[in-house]
Structure 1
Amino acid sequence: MTGAERVWHTLRELGLHTVFGVPGGAVLPLVDALSQTEDMAFIVTRHESAAIHAADGFARAGGTPGVALVTSGPGGTNALTGLMTAMTDSTPLVVLVGQVPTGLIGTDAFQEADVFTMALPVVKHSWKVSEVDEVGRIIRAAYRVASSGRPGPVLVELPKDVQMAEESRPGPEKVQLPSEPWRLSPLEAARFSAYVRRARRPVLYVGGGVVASGVAPWIQAWAERYQVPVTTTLMGIGAFPANHPLSLGMLGMHGTFAANHAVQAADLILALGVRFDDRVTGRIDSFAPHAHIVHVEVDASERNKIVTPHLTLKGDLREVLPILDRLVPEALHDEWLETIRQWQTEHPLKVPEAPSGRLSTAAALRALSNRLNDQDVVVTDVGQHQMWAALFVPRAKPRSFITSGGAGTMGYGLPAAIGASLARAGTGRVVLIAGDGSLQMNLQELATVAQYQVPVTIVVMNNGGHGMVRQWQDLFHGRRRHGVALTNPDFVDLARVFGIAGMTATSMEELEAALEALPATQGPALLEVAIDPNEMVFPMVPSGKSLSEVIEG
C-alpha cells in the first residue's frame, strides 16, 4: 500500500466510517485514497475549524474518536481552535494534517507551516511521520492514545511524499499501551470509608469524565444507595438524570441556588471526573469550606492544581468506581435532603416575564424541552442561550448534551451538531440551540447541512447581539454597551436560500405551532425565535465571588 492507502485501511479496521475535512494540495493523495475506500464517508465542511468541531461533535455523541483531515499551512492553522476546544473538554480526536514533501520542509515552500509545533500546547500527543513504513503503526497508536486515559485530540503530520510512497513491508505493527490494574491501598480504603460513613451532608459532584468513561450507571446506583444529592458541571449534564429527586442541577457561575448552597454547606464532596474549573468553584478560598473532598482523577496534571483534596485517588473511573463500590454504604440523610428540598422550593429557577410582544428565553426553551425525548441530543453554541439551555433543557442520559465548556468556543455549535447527527443517525433528533451571534461564527456550514441533508434542527435565539457580553457590560461596566449590537441577516430567508426549511416565532403561540410542525419536516430545519435583547440569564455568581453570593435575578 501507499502511505495514504494505509491511513484509511488502518482507520477502517478500527471501525471508522466518517471523516470530516477540507481537501487541499498537500493531502491530495489522502483524498484520492479516501475516494477508493469502501464504506468511508468524507464530509467536506466549508472551513477547517468547522471540520474539527464536527469531528468533536461526532466523538461526543458517538463515544468513539472523531477524525478530521486538513491540508498544510492555513488548513492546519485553521484547525488550532478546534484542537484547543477538544483538548479543554477531553474529546478524543485524530487530526490528520498534510505537509509539504520532506525535501521542502524548512524552505518556506508554498503552504508550509510548522503546525506540529504550534499545536503542541493544545493536543494530547503529536507525531511527525517521516517513513512510510511507520504510517500504519502511528495511525493505530494515535487512535488509541486519543481515547485512552483522559481522552483528547492528537495530531498526525503527513508529508505529501510519505503519503505517495509505497511500503516496503506489509501491515502495521499492533500497538499495546502500557497498563497496570488499579489498586486501592489499605490507607486509602480506610480514609475513604471513614469519610463516607461519617458524613451527614454529602454531595456527589460529577463532570464530563463520568460521561466520557461511561460510568454514569455507577453514579445513579451510589446516589440511590447512599441517598446523596448529585450536582453536575456543564460538561457533566446527562451524567445523572436531571429529573431525579436527588438531582441538584448544575453548579457554578450559572448554577442553581440549591446546587451552589449544597456544595458550600457539605461536609463531604465526592468529586468524580471533574477538574475544579474556576466557573464551578467561584472564589477558591471559600469553596466548600466545611467539606472533606475526595477527588478521583486519571490525569496527573489535574491533581491538586486548583483545589487540594483531602484524598486524591489516581486512576480511571472505569477501574476505580467498581473497587470503591463495596465501600459506599446504604445510608439515610433525611435531614440534609429536607434542607435541600427547602432550598429548591424557596429558590426555584425563575422564568422571567418578557416585555409585551416578546418571548422569554427560559419559557421558549422549556416549551422546546417538552417536545424532546431521552434519545434526542441537544447541542449548544456559546453564550447566554448556552446557560439557559443548561438550566431549562434538562437531560437524562449521557451524551445527550453537547457544548463547548472549558474553551467557550463561539461557532462550535453548528458544525458539532452536524457531527453529532451523523454519529447518532436513526437514534433520535439532534437539536442545535444557538444565539444569533454565535451561529454567525460558522454560518457557512449551513451549506454543509444542505449538501449532505443532515437532519439537524437549528433553533436560533435571536436577541440582536452578543448577549452574554452585553450582560456583563450592564452588570459590571456601568451599562456601557460597546461592540455588542449586530445587524443580522434574515435567518429564515437565509436557510431557505440553502434549501433548508425555515420558520420564525415571535410569540408563544407561534412557537408552539412551529414546534408542532418541526417533526414532520424531512431533513434539516431552522427555527428563529425572537427574544428580548435586554434579558439576562440568572442565577449568576459574579466572577471572583463565593458560590453562596448568588444573584437570583
Structure 2
Amino acid sequence: MTGAELAWEVLSKLGTTVVFGVPGGAILPLVDSLATRKDNPIEFVVSRHEAASIHAADGYARVTGKPAIAMATSGPGGTNVITGLVTAMTDSVPIVLLIGQVPTTLIGTDAFQEADLFNMTMPVVKHSWRISDPSQVADVLIEAYETARRGRPGPVVVEFPKNIQFMECPPWEFQPKQEEQAEWDEKPLVLARIKSYLRNAKRPLLYIGGGVVSSGTQEYVRQIAETYQCPVAHTLMGVGAFPSTHPLALGMLGMHGTWYANNAIQNADLILALGVRFDDRVTGKLDEFAPNAHIIHVEVDAAELSKLVPADIAIRGDLRTILPKFVEMVPARTNEEWWATINEWKKDHPLRPPAAPDGSIATPKVMEIVNRHLQADDIVVTEVGQHQMWAALYLRREKPRTFLTSGGAGTMGYGFPAAMGAQFAAEGHRVVLLAGDGSFQMNLQEMGTVAQYKIPIWMIVLNNQGHGMVRQWQDLFHGQRRIGVDLLNPDFVRLAQSFGIPGFSVNSEEALEEALQTMETIEGPIMLEVRVPQDEHVFPMVPAGQPLSMVLEG
C-alpha cells in the first residue's frame, strides 16, 4: 500500500467512520485514496472552511468521547485550523489532525503553500509529528491516536508530506492496544488525611469540571454526593456531569455562576475538586478564593495540580481509578446546618431573568421555553457570548456530553460547525445550536455544508444585533462607550431559505412556542431567528479580578 492507502487502513482499524476537512494540493493523494477504497466505511465531510472542519471534529469528539479525525492541506489550509486546535487543547478534546505538506525534497525552500506547520502547531497541541519516511506512517498514526485519547485528552497533529503519501509502505499488521489505567498509589498517610478531612468537615462542597465528563465518572460523583449529602457545583465544562435537577445541585459557579454556588465555595471548609483546573473565570480573585477550605484536588494532568490554587492534598491520577476509592471512604452524612444555610441563600438569591421590553422576549425565557422541547439525550451546542452563559444557567442538562461549548478559549464561531460534527455522532438524537448573531456569522458559510449534507440541526439564532457580551462589558466597565459592537446583519431566515432550509423569525413567547412545535414536525435542518432585546445584561456576574463574594445581581 501507498502511504495514503495505509493511513486510511490504520484509521479504519482504529474505528474511524467520518473525517472532516477541505481538500487541497498537498493532501490530494490522501483524498484520492479515500475515494478509491473498496467497501469504504469512512465518510468525507467537506466544510466550506478549514476552521469549520476542526470545530466539526471537535463536536464529534465531544459527543463520542473518542478521537475525531480532521484533514487540511498545507500552508493556509493548516494555518486556518490553529484556532480550532487551541479550542480543543484548552477544553481537552481528542482530535487527530492530518495536515498535508509539500514533498520532503521541497521543505525549507519556501515552496508554494509551504508553512512549517509542525513547529507552528506544537505549542497548541499535545504533540506534533512530521512523517519523513513511509515506514513511519502506521506507527505515527497509531501513536497520534493514542496520545490524543490518553491521560488528559487533547488534539495532535500529523504533518504528512505529499511524496510520502505516494510512496509504497512496508507490510503492516494491526495490533490493538489494551486499555490502560494507572493504579493510584494509595499512601496510608494520605488516605488517613483524606478520611480526616471528610469526617471533620461541616461545610463540604464538590467542585466538578470537564474531567468528570471526559472520564465518564459521573455515577461515582453522584454516589459520593448522595452518601455525603454534599452540594455540587460545576464549571461551564462540567454542565451535565451532575444532573441539573438533582436536589444537591447548585448549578454553575464562577464569573456568571449562581449566587449560592459562589457563596457556597467561599464559605466551604472542604472542597473536593474533581477534574478541574481552577480557571480564573471560576476562582475570581485568587488570594480571596475559598479562604477557609481544605482542598483535595484530583486531576489527571500533573501540571494543573496546585498551579493556581494550592491544594492541601493533590492527587494526580485517572478519576476512573480514584473515585471508586472515594465512594468507599466518604461517610454517610446529613449536613443539615449547611443545607439550611444554602437553602436560605437559594430563597433570597434566586436566578432572576431580566424583564423584556414590550414586543420582545428575554433570552433566559427563550432558554426556558427551548428546554421544554429537549429530551435528555438531545445535544445542545452553544456559540460564545451572553446566550452561552444563559444556556449554562437556565437549561436543564441531566447527562454528560449533552452540552457542548467553547470554555477555555471562548472561541466565537465554534458552535455552528461543532453542532454539525455533533450531529454525525448523535445517533438519531436531536442537536440544537444556540447562537448569538455575532458568533453565528463567524462561520456563516457553513450553511452550505448543512444544506449539502442535510444535517438536521436546529439552528436557533438569538439576534440582539451585535456582540452582546462585549457590549455588556462596555456598559458596565467602560462608561457605556459602545464601539465595534453593533452589527448590520443579514436576514437569517431568507439566507437559510436560499439554501433550501426552512426558517422562522419570532419575537414573542407565544410565537416561539408555536415555532418550536412546528419544528418538531419537520425533518432536516431548520433556522429559527429569535429577536431578543439589544440591551440585556447577563447576571449574576462577578467582575473580573474580584472575589466570588462580590456578585452583581443586576
1:95-147: CA deviation from partner (whole Å, max 9, x where unpaired): 00000000000000000000111111100011110111111111111111101
Q: How far off is 1:176 after superposition?
A: 7.4
Aligned residue runs from structure 1 range 245-260, under 5 A: 245-260=247-262
Q: Which residue of 2 aligns with 1:403?
A: 405
Amino acid paired to 2:548 = L
Name which of 168, 171, 186 aligns with 2:170. 168
RMSD: 1.1
Q: Work out whether residues 54 and 84 of structure 2, in 8 Å CA contact, stay in contact via their aligned partners in 1.
A: yes
1:243-292: CA deviation from partner (whole Å, max 9, x where unpaired): 00000000000000110000000000000000000000000001001100
Find the aligned partners of 1:412 and 1:17 in 2 and give their Cα distance: 22
Q: Which residue of 2 aligns with 1:530?
A: 531
Q: Which residue of 1 aligns with 2:553?
A: 552
Q: Which residue of 2 aligns with 1:4?
A: 4
Aligned residue runs from structure 1 range 245-394, under 5 A: 245-394=247-396
Q: Is 1:27 the counterpart of 2:27 in the alignment?
A: yes
Find the aligned partners of 1:246 and 1:152 in 2 and give their Cα distance: 31
Find the aligned partners of 2:266 and 2:187 in 1 and give their Cα distance: 30
Q: Relative to structure 2, which stretch is displaced further, 161-170 or 302-311? A: 161-170
| TM-score, length-scaled by structure 2 | 0.98
Q: Relative to structure 2, which stretch is displaced further, 241-250 or 362-371? A: 362-371
Q: Give unpaired runs (5+ residues) of structure 2.
A: none
Q: Which residue of 2 aligns with 1:450?
A: 451
Report the secondary structure of 1:68's partner residue.
Answer: strand
Find the aligned partners of 1:68 and 1:506 in 2 and give their Cα distance: 38
Q: Work out whether residues 223 and 327 of structure 2, in 8 Å CA contact, stay in contact via their aligned partners in 1.
A: no
Q: Give unpaired runs (5+ residues) of structure 1.
A: none
| TM-score, length-scaled by structure 1 | 0.98
Q: How far off is 1:177 after superposition?
A: 9.0
Find the aligned partners of 1:293 and 1:109 in 2 and give their Cα distance: 54
Q: How far off is 1:36 after superposition?
A: 2.7
Q: Work out whether residues 182 and 321 of structure 2, in 8 Å CA contact, stay in contact via their aligned partners in 1.
A: no
1:396-422: CA deviation from partner (whole Å, max 9, x where unpaired): 000010000000000000000000011
Find the aligned partners of 1:16 and 1:212 in 2 and give their Cα distance: 19
Find the aligned partners of 1:353 and 1:160 in 2 and give their Cα distance: 59
Q: Relative to structure 2, which stretch is displaced further, 166-175 or 9-18? A: 166-175
Amino acid paired to 1:282 = G
Find the aligned partners of 1:494 and 1:62 in 2 and give their Cα distance: 31
Q: Which residue of 2 aligns with 1:512?
A: 513
1:70-99: CA deviation from partner (whole Å, max 9, x where unpaired): 000000000100000000000000000000
Q: How far off is 1:227 after superposition?
A: 0.2
Name which of 176, 179, 184 aligns with 1:182. 184
Report the secondary structure of 1:294's partner residue.
Answer: strand
Find the aligned partners of 2:341 and 2:36 in 1 and give their Cα distance: 63
Report the secondary structure of 1:116's partner residue.
Answer: helix
Report the secondary structure of 1:434's partner residue.
Answer: strand
Name which of 46, 49, 54 aligns with 2:48. 46
Report the secondary structure of 1:432's partner residue.
Answer: strand
Report the secondary structure of 2:238's partner residue.
Answer: coil
Q: Work out whether residues 181 and 321 of structure 2, in 8 Å CA contact, stay in contact via their aligned partners in 1.
A: no
Q: Which residue of 1 aligns with 2:487?
A: 486
Amino acid paired to 1:518 = M
**Percent identity over paired residues:** 58
Find the aligned partners of 2:23 and 2:464 in 1 and give their Cα distance: 36
Name which of 146, 153, 156 aligns with 1:154. 156
Find the aligned partners of 1:202 and 1:149 in 2 and give their Cα distance: 28
Q: Is 1:414 the counterpart of 2:416 in the alignment?
A: yes
Find the aligned partners of 2:269 and 2:182 in 1 and give their Cα distance: 33
Q: How far off is 1:175 after superposition?
A: 6.2
Name which of 70, 84, 87 aligns with 2:86. 84
Amino acid paired to 2:12 = R
Q: Is 1:18 the counterpart of 2:21 in the alignment?
A: no
Find the aligned partners of 2:48 and 2:408 in 1 and give their Cα distance: 25
Amino acid paired to 1:107 = T
Q: Work out whether residues 140 and 175 of structure 1, in 8 Å CA contact, stay in contact via their aligned partners in 2.
A: no
Report the secondary structure of 2:344's partner residue.
Answer: helix
Q: Which residue of 2 aligns with 1:437?
A: 438
Q: Which residue of 2 aligns with 1:142?
A: 144
Find the aligned partners of 2:402 and 2:172 in 1 and give their Cα distance: 41
Q: How far off is 1:318 after superposition?
A: 1.0
Name which of 60, 69, 72 aligns with 1:70. 72
Q: Work out whether residues 56 and 93 of structure 1, in 8 Å CA contact, stay in contact via their aligned partners in 2.
A: yes
Find the aligned partners of 2:176 and 2:275 in 1 and give their Cα distance: 30
Q: How far off is 1:181 after superposition?
A: 2.3
Q: How far off is 1:171 after superposition?
A: 3.3
Find the aligned partners of 2:180 and 2:439 in 1 and give their Cα distance: 42
Q: Is 1:239 the counterpart of 2:237 in the alignment?
A: no
Q: Work out whether residues 54 and 416 of structure 1, in 8 Å CA contact, stay in contact via their aligned partners in 2.
A: yes
Find the aligned partners of 1:177 and 1:432 in 2 and give their Cα distance: 34
Large movers: runs of 4+ above 4 Å? 172-180
Find the aligned partners of 2:530 and 2:387 in 1 and give their Cα distance: 11
Amino acid paired to 1:114 = D
Report the secondary structure of 1:103's partner residue.
Answer: coil
Q: Work out whether residues 98 and 159 of structure 1, in 8 Å CA contact, stay in contact via their aligned partners in 2.
A: yes
How many residues align? The count is: 552
Find the aligned partners of 1:360 and 1:178 in 2 and give their Cα distance: 48
Find the aligned partners of 1:343 and 1:23 in 2 and give their Cα distance: 55
Q: How far off is 1:351 after superposition?
A: 1.4
